[in-house]
Amino acid sequence: MEKKQLRQKGKQILSEMTSSKREKVSKQIAEHFRKTSWWQQANVMGATIAQRHEIDTTYIIEFAWNSGKTVVVPKCFPKQDHSMAFYQITDFNQLEKVYAGLLEPIPSESTLYEKKEIDLLLVPGLLFDQKGYRIGHGGGYYDRYLKGFNHTTVSIATKQQITSEVPHNEYDIPVQHIITEDGVLY
C-alpha cells in the first residue's frame, strides 16, 4: 500500500473508535507509559495535544504535571519552513486553536525549549510497524524535528494501528518505543 492509502486506513481506524473505547484505551496506555524507566528518568517531556479522534494525551500530560515534570508542546510554522518548536505549558489554558483545529501553545504565554532540553518526545502517528516506522499526518513536521534529536522517542497507538510494515526511506526516523493498550511493544 502507498503512504496515502495507509494514512487513510489509520484515520479510519481512529475515527471508528467510540469515545468510550478511546477513553479506556487512552487511560490504559497512560498507565503503561508511566511505568517505563524512560518515563521515570525524564524531566522534560514533549507531547502533542491530541486531536478529537486520536489517543488522548491529556492523561499523560496531567500525570507529568502531577509528577513534577516539565511538559512542552509543539507550535508549527506552516507558512515559514514547516518547522516546529516546543513551548512549556503548565496549564491547558496556555493553548490556542490554530489551523485545522489544532491546539498549540501561545508563545507569549509559554517558554521556548530547545530540542536538546527534551528528554522524552511523544511522537504522533496514524499507523506504525514493529520497527518503529510510522505514517504521520503528512506534514513532515516530526520527520524534520527528529533529525538530530538524540533522546528517547515513543509513540502511543491502539493495537489496530500496528501493521506489518510501513513504507519508509532514508529520511524516515523510527521511534524507539511504541505503547498500546496491551503494553510496551518495545
What CATH code is carried by the domain that includes residue 115?
3.40.50.10420
Annotated binding site: 3-7, 49, 54, 134-142
Q: Distance between CA 20 and CA 140 in Å, rounded? A: 31
Annotated binding site for ATP: 3-7, 134-142
The pLDDT-based confidence of 179 (bands split at 50, 70, 90) is very high
pLDDT in tens, 8-55: 999 999 999 999 999 999 999 999 999 999 999 999 999 999 998 999
Residue range(s) defining the domain that contains residue 168: 3-184
How many domains does the structure of the chain reveal?
Answer: 1
Annotated binding site for substrate: 49, 54
Please give the average per-residue pLDDT across 149-160, as a whole number: 98
Q: What pLDDT score was predicted for residue 129?
A: 97
Q: What pLDDT score was predicted for residue 24?
A: 98
Answer whether residue 95 shows pLDDT above 90: yes
The pLDDT-based confidence of 79 (bands split at 50, 70, 90) is confident
CA angle in degrees (0–180, nearest 5) for 58-171-14: 35
C-alpha distances in angstroms, 153 versus 10, 15, 78, 99, 101?
Answer: 20, 25, 23, 26, 25
Backbone angles phi, psi at 35, to 5 degrees: -90, -5
